[in-house]
Amino acid sequence: MGLGAARQTVLVTGAAGFLGSHLCDRLLGDGHEVIGLDNLVTGTLDNLADAMKSPRFHFEIGDVRDSIAVFAQQIFNFACPASPVHYQADPHFTLTTSVMGAQRVIDAARGRKCTIVHASTSEIYGDPLVHPQPESYWGHVNPIGDRACYDEGKRCAETLLFDARRRWGVDARVVRIFNTYGPRMAIDDGRVVSNFVAQALEKKPLTIYGTGDQTRSFCYVSDLVDGIVSMTRPAVLDGPVNIGNPDEFTIRQLGEMVTELLGWGEVVYKPLPNDDPKQRQPDITRAKSVLGFEPKVKLRQGLKSLIEDFRGRLDQRANRAP
């Protein structure tokens, strides 16, 4: 059941997070009734300031690991810490949020005409031996490493969802999200884009881990949300779908672009964290052919929007300081 012109009731878990809040805004803009669920462990109500203005938005504080007592025609499951700083802070919480959360949305959807769109991640590919990464690649993941709580949690969640498709006919759709950036990112989430922009704005050295030759592909949040919403449109959607921007940059190139935009270029090098991927680039052939997905926002353009957002929030933080 796709998100058509008719109003539907949609549940978004992780609604107060970076991606979840942008998704709520998009769904409200499309005319739907939206229920947002979040335990506010990493999300913030500030992200929902626009959504809260709508009479069609209903927010509930709750944990996706608990039973979901909400009827919805669509469920977007975005509840899980998604940056290393946050997901490594409490590995047990991260793992159980991924796995138990997937089971709870399956329970909510079973026996109903309810579609699940589950936010998986490019991290299920681990430190890849195939480049770029297609959906057919099974990954290269350390199951007992520092990042395993997130990587393996997301992999297990995919297993649960596809087993639910086969066993009970649950309409579960899995989107593998590649590096995404944009306004409302947590300033201190430890991701390379937010690190570089915050450090440059605060006139601190840009921290490059390793040599800076490792690569990433950065998707602007509005493009990602377009891709996520399009996941509901096909009558049937088998198998996971990569959503991201295939333009590939080294970490050093990203630093140079931030330096050019902000006029600050001091750099410090630190050791590469354990199991940090050397390459990350989505193969979006399937998203193009099945969903008609094509990212539009170039990195330089998106960084300008992020810089303005971070500048405003850092100014607010400085004004609140005693």
CA distance 110 to 102: 12
If 0-12 CB within 10 Å is exposed, 13-18 middle and 19+ buried, where does residue 55 land?
Answer: exposed
CB 119 within 8 A of CB 78: yes
Whether residue 322 is preceded by a cis peptide bond, meaning omega within 30 degrees of 0, is no
CA distance 97 to 281: 26
The bridge status of strand 267-270 relative to strand 9-13 is unpaired
First-to-last CA distance in the chain? 52
Residues carrying an active site annotation: 150
Q: How many residues would you count in the chain?
A: 322
CA distance 89 to 236: 38
Mutual angle of helices 192-201 and 251-262, in 10-degree steps: 30
